[in-house]
Structure 1
């Protein structure tokens, strides 16, 4: 059984393995390479996405049960809905601003140890997920399989959430709480850099 102590190492190894997998391992190169790989790498290669998705896991761990599992489930589900909106061309205003603000706001929630009700937390996370999903949907390559692309970015998002949760479990110790809140500060500053165009 995987211990909490070994979870970050396991997640890192899993992420590296997935990134190094070649398209030749797929059933069909076009569907996998043009859809799944692009979908999987899209959130990981965008630091604004990484910051927000890790923040969801961090905040969930900070809030404890049931938020520790509810927030990382709400985000990809609503994100998939946002992706459909993007694929269909339904207009959503200020997408890049919404993505940057997600890192700022979620980071500040962690910094200030904000503990709203689980439903308020889920609605806030879901709101930001729409912007992230919409960005994924509008950037779907024309030749890509939409289902494979969606599966890729949902799996990558889940791994980023798990990374945040693994780090967030440090809140069990007083020094760990400082580390987690400090990580929230870094995420919030990164969001400000995205928001102001400095990154």
Structure 2
């Protein structure tokens, strides 16, 4: 059963709620290796996105994603705004004029979004960034689809891979962003961007758990 626009909006609302719940946690992670504002920024950005969506009357899923992306670009400070903005804008580009999404549609949109983040941030796996959660999640999702598992199971595997990728950032030495200024001292801390990426993908798996 394809995802409707209502299902997409439900995911985005869950993202906003989860990021609000984890605002202080994300900020604490960022305090160790960054500017101590990632949680506050992501919470503010998704609140702004929800306000925009509340007045958006469209059947086009692409427009929904692009609206979120633009809201994040304009309200999330630091590197998070351009990177998460790019993520959702690329989701929007790939889903333009779509009123529902198949599992393959989501694979193509997620791939475009992750590649957009990689291109924008110039980060590679192992650099201790959100890419370390996003790329494994994408690869796990695509592999699950090739196995022919149900949509909900593919999403669950994607979220689990994101969680593993997030945890794998703990021993890494940061090579990008503010954390890279710390050099070896950045090791031993979980990356906040990888953490928020995991939370967003986990929210998708939870929101769409009934998808087949």
Give the TM-score of the pair, scaled to structure 1: 0.34
**Larger relative contact order (CA 8 Å, sep ≥ 6):** 1
Give the TM-score of the pair, scaled to structure 2: 0.33
